Amino acid sequence: MQLLPLLAALAGGLLIGAAALGLLALSGRVAGVSGIVGGLIPPRRGDIDWRLAYLAGLLLGGVLLHLAYGLPTSIPGSRITLIVSGLLVGFGTRLGNGCTSGHGVCGLGRGSPRSFAAVLTFMAVAFITVFVSRHILGGAP
């Protein structure tokens, strides 16, 4: 365990929290990525611009990060696993009204009981999924 990555993780977390707080203070909105993007599928009149702008901000940030450090480009495991993973993440976050940002950062930060339950659930299932895929099936590296 090295100190520098942990400090970077903490600093990154502070930045994530500040950005989410900024959206709440300035626009009064919850910075949940799955909700912001999911609200575009299908798009609703008068509720499109800010969502696209937030998405553009994420992508622009990605471009800057890629130029500065390089972003990961491949995911271990099969394509089928990746597709199933994406489908579950997309459907699940919409059904459960949030993901790591909406429930994890904003929901926990507001002390929402629903978000506490959601975070406990998705963390527990993610731990189990990784345990099964890595240590029982031995599929993922």
Partner 1 sequence: MRPVLIALVCGLVFALGLGLSGMVNPARVLGFLDLTGDWEPNLMFVLGGAVGVYALGARHVLAWPRPWDGLTFQLPSRRSLDHRLLLGAAMFGAGWGLSGLCPGPALVDLAGGGADIWLFVAAMLGGMALFSAFNRVMPAR
The number of residues that bind partner 1 (CB under 8 A) is 109
**DSSP element (H, E) containing 39:** none
Write the secondary structure of 101-138 as one string of H (helix), E (strand) and C (coil): HHHHHHHHHHCCHHHHHHHHHHHHHHHHHHHHHHHHCC
Cα(first)–Cα(last) distance of the chain, in Å? 20
Q: Is 43 in the site for partner 1 (CB under 8 A)?
A: no
Contacts of partner 1 in 110-129 (CB under 8 A): 110-114, 117-119, 121-129
Instruction: Please report how close the Cβ of residue 35 comes to partner 1 at its closest, in angstroms.
Output: 9
Site string for partner 1, 45-84 (x = CB under 8 A): ----xxx-xxxxxxxxxxxxxx--xxxxxxxxx-x-xxxx
Smallest gap from residue 98 Cβ to partner 1 (A) = 8
